[in-house]
């Protein structure tokens, strides 16, 4: 059996319906990141790791997995509508991953702080903050490699519309050469109603759109600032920027 994801219109809880519609409209795909937040040093660390991850990856969200077994509809449906499930348990008992699997939820990435990162379990709520950061970064790298880079719809993007008397082809060449890197892609370049190749060969229209796609908020922000400078340096006008 297990829990079933309902079509949005069949979900009775209005707040859950609204959250699902809003987040998927904004981000395309979403990633659920949850922890057991148990009583030990590593149980506590697991909760803080999830907090740090969702601060860094904008389409990643902490949910309320404790709602799974009493089957509280709203929080359960929001979680089920996430496209990927990442679980961080404190110890090798992996209580949360097992709880989710028992409810029929596929867990895409599962971690136990002791087993996967070698931190011994201790009977205290205190933990090493530097170690927590180090593990956070490792899990973020994993999410990038195993989820976001494998599924471009799970990446985040900013869409630009620009205008100018003349938009030189050099602008797009620079854009691609300088701003495309391991974590950032420049996609969907459209110049009025013609293709990029047609534009280069024949004419110089005045309105263009393009998107920058990234796996990480920080990388996207860094590039956003530089791209706006490039637009200005080329005498172009930024008409609209949509996130
Ligand atoms: S996984 Fe370990 S730390 Fe987390 S709740 Fe279970 S026993 Fe506690």
pLDDT of residue 114: 98
Segments of 36-150 assigned E as strands: 60-61, 84-89, 109-112
Pick from 95, 97, 123 the residue to mutate for probing ligand 1's pocket: most ligand atoms within 8 Å of its CB: 95
Q: Is the CB of 47 under 6 A from ligand 1?
A: no
Distance 179 CA to ligand 1 centre (A): 43
pLDDT of residue 191: 78
Distance 123 CA to ligand 1 centre (A): 12
pLDDT of residue 1: 56
pLDDT of residue 107: 97
pLDDT of residue 38: 97
Per CATH, which fold does 8-152 belong to? Answer: Rossmann fold (3.40.50)
Has domain 155-242 been given CATH number 3.40.50.150? no
Q: Is the CB of 164 under 6 A from ligand 1?
A: no
* pLDDT tens-digit profile, the chain (243 residues): 578 999 999 999 999 999 999 998 878 899 999 999 999 999 999 999 999 999 988 899 999 999 999 999 999 999 999 999 999 999 999 999 999 999 999 999 999 999 999 999 999 999 999 999 999 999 999 998 899 877 767 777 788 898 887 777 778 888 888 877 767 778 788 877 454 554 554 455 578 888 887 767 677 778 888 889 889 888 888 988 887
Cα-trace Rg, the chain? 22
pLDDT of residue 25: 84
pLDDT of residue 211: 83
Whether the model clears a pTM of 0.85, i.e. scores above it, the answer is no
Distance 6 CA to ligand 1 centre (A): 30
Distance 37 CA to ligand 1 centre (A): 7
CA separation for the pair 209, 5 (Å, rounded): 36
Residue ranges of the domains in the chain? 8-152, 155-242
Q: Is the CB of 66 under 6 A from ligand 1?
A: no
Positive or negative, the CA dihedral 239, 152, 36, 121 is: negative
Percent helix, strand, coil in the chain, to 5, is 45, 20, 35
Q: Is the CB of 40 under 6 A from ligand 1?
A: yes
Pick from 46, 88, 93 the residue to mutate for probing ligand 1's pocket: most ligand atoms within 8 Å of its CB: 93
């Amino acid at each position: 059996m297990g829990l079933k994801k309902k079509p949005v219109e069949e979900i009775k809880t209005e707040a859950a319906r609204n959250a699902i519609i809003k987040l998927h409209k904004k981000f395309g795909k979403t990633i659920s990141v949850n922890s057991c937040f148990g009583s030990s040093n590593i149980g506590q660390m697991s909760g803080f790791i999830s907090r740090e991850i969702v601060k860094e990856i904008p389409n990643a969200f902490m949910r309320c997995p404790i709602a799974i077994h009493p089957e509280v509809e709203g929080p359960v449906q929001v979680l089920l509508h996430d496209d990927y499930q990442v679980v961080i348990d404190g110890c090798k008992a992996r209580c949360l991953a097992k709880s989710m699997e028992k409810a029929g939820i596929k867990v895409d990435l599962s971690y136990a702080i002791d087993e996967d990162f070698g931190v011994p379990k201790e009977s205290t709520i205190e933990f090493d903050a530097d170690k927590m950061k180090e593990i956070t970064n490792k899990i973020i790298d994993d999410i990038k490699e195993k989820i976001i880079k494998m599924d471009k719809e799970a990446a985040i993007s900013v869409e630009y519309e620009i205008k100018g008397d003349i938009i030189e082809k050099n602008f797009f060449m620079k854009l691609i050469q300088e701003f495309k890197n391991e974590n950032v892609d420049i996609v969907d370049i459209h110049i009025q109603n013609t293709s990029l190749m047609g534009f280069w060969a024949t004419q110089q229209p005045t309105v263009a759109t393009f998107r920058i796609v990234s796996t990480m908020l920080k990388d996207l922000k860094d590039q956003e600032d530089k791209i706006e400078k490039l637009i200005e340096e080329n005498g172009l006008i930024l008409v609209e920027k949509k996130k």
